[in-house]
Amino acid sequence: MVFSYALSSMQLHSLGFQSQTIFTSFDGKVEDRGNYLVMRSLTNPNYFWGNLLIFDRPPQPGDYASWTALFKKEFPDPRIYHVTLAWDSPQSEVGDVTEFTKNGFLLEANATLSAKSVTLPPRFNEHLEVRPITEIEWEHMIEIQVDSSHDHLSRAEWESFSRNQSVRYLAMEKAGYGHWFGGFLQGRLVAGLGIFHRDGLGRFQTVCTDPQFQRRGICGTLVYKASLYALEKMNITELVMCADPNYHAIQIYESVGFQRRQLEHGVYWWDKTRC
């Protein structure tokens, strides 16, 4: 599969949004409308943050009606039960989201971190083996992802989402765009993450640890070892990850040498009767 997306009139500033195009361009579409981008995940249409509009500025009073109308125009499929709108702001501005939150939208903030080299984490687990997982190990990986999820989706919704995403990741790995790494203790898969790349830029996906094995230095060790592999063997010069700025895991990533670059914002709504 060949990446076909090239920016024309709208230039993305955020490393988070730039690296997201690695995935969307693989099995979806990124369409430039001048003052906003349409990102489509064709294999997973109700992936909230895979099917969205990214505007070239933060929202202002009066944007609610026009922005939501644009989303419905770009995503007319009646099976899509969400609306996700984000904006690319070099200064990490939130803008005026009052109309959106009054109408049931939630505001989301994501910190973008990056690193060109990594350092040994303070809690290094010397017993953790890290390597790309095999296709047969994906079933266990999905179980870990579901067990460690912690947001509004139900377990069934998380399992469906993880399975859909695994199809994408397996296809990308077979096409040579990255690997899914597992962390193993005495041969047992206990953690995982993905790293996929294009043009020297690598992006992390879904860092997770089996809840039974947390607080053992596994997450930091996994990120450290997978990062070394990516920088040394995958022709990657800069690694990017996005994380909840208020979740404790971001401190683990920083302890390995990742530094915060931008704060991305977006709003999203979904029909809770359909999920």
Any long-range contacts for 184-188 (C-beta under 8 Å, 24+ apart)?
184/128, 184/129, 184/130, 184/131, 185/127, 185/128, 185/129, 185/213, 185/218, 186/127
- pLDDT of the residue at 4: 41
Q: Give the start-to-end residue ranges of the domains of the chain.
A: 15-109+264-274, 118-256
Whether 262 and 241 have beta carbons less than 8 Å apart is answered as no
- pLDDT for 109 equals 95
Q: Low-confidence residues of the chain, pLDDT below 50?
A: 1-7
Convert the pLDDT of each residue in 146-176 to its tens digit.
Answer: 998 866 667 888 888 899 899 999 999 999 9
d(CA 106, CA 267): 5
Question: Would you state the pLDDT for residue 201?
Answer: 97
What pLDDT is stored for residue 131 in this prediction?
Answer: 98
pLDDT given for residue 158 in this prediction: 85
CB atoms within 10 A of CB 41: 22
Predicted pLDDT of residue 174: 96
Torsion of CA 162, 164, 166, 168, to 10 degrees: -140
pTM: 0.91
Backbone torsions φ then ψ of 163, nearest 5 degrees:
-65, -45
For residue range 15-60, what is the model confidence (pLDDT) as tens digits? Answer: 999 999 999 999 999 999 999 999 999 888 888 999 999 999 999 9
- Give me the pLDDT at residue 7, please: 47
118-256, superfamily in CATH?
Gcn5-related N-acetyltransferase (GNAT) (3.40.630.30)
